[in-house]
Amino acid sequence: MKKIILFIMLIALIGLLSKCFKDTDQVPITSTTLNGVKVSYFMYQIQNLEEHTDIDKLAGTDYDLLVVEPGFNIKDDPYDVNYLIDNLKIKPNGEKRIILAYIDIGQAEDWRTYWKNDWKAPTKTQTGYPDFLITIDPDGWSGNYPVAYWRKDWQNIWLKENGIIEQIAKYGFDGVYLDWVEAYDDDKIREIASKENINPESEMISFIEAIKTTGKTIFSDFLVVSQNAPYLIEANPTLYTSVIDAISTEDTWFYGEGDAEWDSPKAGDLHGEERHEDDYSTENRIKQNKKYLQYGIPVFTVDYCISKDNANEVYNESRRNGFIPLVTRVSLSQITETPPF
């Protein structure tokens, strides 16, 4: 009788353990559809694509969507964009994949071709020249300078005839992946906006809308994916969700330190401190992201981990909340070492 009871208890324990493993290790894969392409897995690489061999490595993967540096407006060692597009557009199995061009619309980058010789970088306390150059990057990225993005001279770089957006569409990218949308929430930017009676939220949404409109003049299905700034939806939910096709948010669970190299111990696995306080706690980030799902806007997440255990946690938790996850390292210079399982 004791053996029977022990056997029953053992079976029950195995069942309980199986359920626990199922809950943590077998979360269903999440996906969305963009321009007719089912997207369950994506990759984000914006450095080290100068060589054809590096492009070939990325081309040989099975990712449904790639976010890449377009590279044609880098001053030194510009990318072979035609080779990049020709080789990345189709997956090894013959299916189409989505290619998005990474652009920073809230910061000027001093290695770009638009950065003129007479431009002067701002400091922490003094604006630069042209006067849309406001301050330095708060996260430690060198050569990046938040801008007064509503000013015509800045917007012309992107929106004018044969500007960056038109060039991206003409090269054959499916759309753009917008970094530093959160410029509207930067303290220095808001201070300047207040002095000029500018509503920073409205101006950012209008800028994104203009980017969408400009891209669609070349490619009718031009996609716009906004990175971070999850609270921008509060300013005008209907308008904002009509001008973006998806949102991607970094650092929901883990982050890396700005300018950290791929092999740096600070390239990922960091959690807490100011990055995860108040509105930006992991719990609140998840809650805010789910508002986009309610409007039918897909949510991608990008977290930075070195530990495989942390990576597995992110993939599970992101999918459990209805998001589409990627775990990589903050330099975004290689294909992730912790691919989705």
Domains held by the chain: number: 1
pLDDT top residue among 118 and 19: 118
Q: Is the per-residue pLDDT at 295 higher than 50?
A: yes
Tell me if 245 sits within 8 A of 232, measured CB to CB.
Answer: no
pLDDT per position as a tens digit, 60-87? 999 999 999 999 999 998 999 999 999 9
* Confidence band of 25 (pLDDT split at 50, 70, 90): low
Domain-located, residue 341: no
pLDDT per position as a tens digit, 218-243? 999 999 999 999 999 999 999 999 99
Q: CA–CA separation, 228 vs 184, rounded Å?
A: 11
Range 153-178 average pLDDT = 98
Domain-located, residue 194: yes
How high is the pLDDT of residue 17?
41
* Confidence band of 140 (pLDDT split at 50, 70, 90): confident
Range 144-158 average pLDDT = 98
Q: Is the per-residue pLDDT at 48 higher than 90?
A: yes
Range 285-302 average pLDDT = 98
How high is the pLDDT of residue 168?
98
What are the beta bridge partners of residue 176?
Answer: 101, 224
* Confidence band of 19 (pLDDT split at 50, 70, 90): very low
Domain-located, residue 212: yes
Q: What is the CA radius of gyration of the chain?
A: 22
Q: Is the per-residue pLDDT at 251 higher than 90?
A: yes
Range 246-253 average pLDDT = 98
Domain-located, residue 164: yes
- The residue segments making up the domain with residue 75 are 31-250
Tell me if 315 sits within 8 A of 290, measured CB to CB.
Answer: no
How high is the pLDDT of residue 10?
45
Count the Cβ atoms, other than its own, within 10 Å of residue 51. 12
Domain-located, residue 229: yes
Range 185-195 average pLDDT = 96
Domain-located, residue 292: no
**CATH classification at residue 184:** 3.20.20.70
Q: Is the per-residue pLDDT at 130 higher than 80?
A: yes
Q: Is 258 exposed, middle or buried (0-12, 13-18, 19+ CB in 10 A)?
A: middle
Predicted TM-score (pTM) above 0.75: yes
Range 36-64 average pLDDT = 97
Domain-located, residue 157: yes
Q: CA–CA separation, 184 vs 147, rounded Å?
A: 10
Q: Is the per-residue pLDDT at 1 higher than 70?
A: no
pLDDT per position as a tens digit, 313-322? 999 999 999 9
* Confidence band of 141 (pLDDT split at 50, 70, 90): confident
Domain-located, residue 122: yes
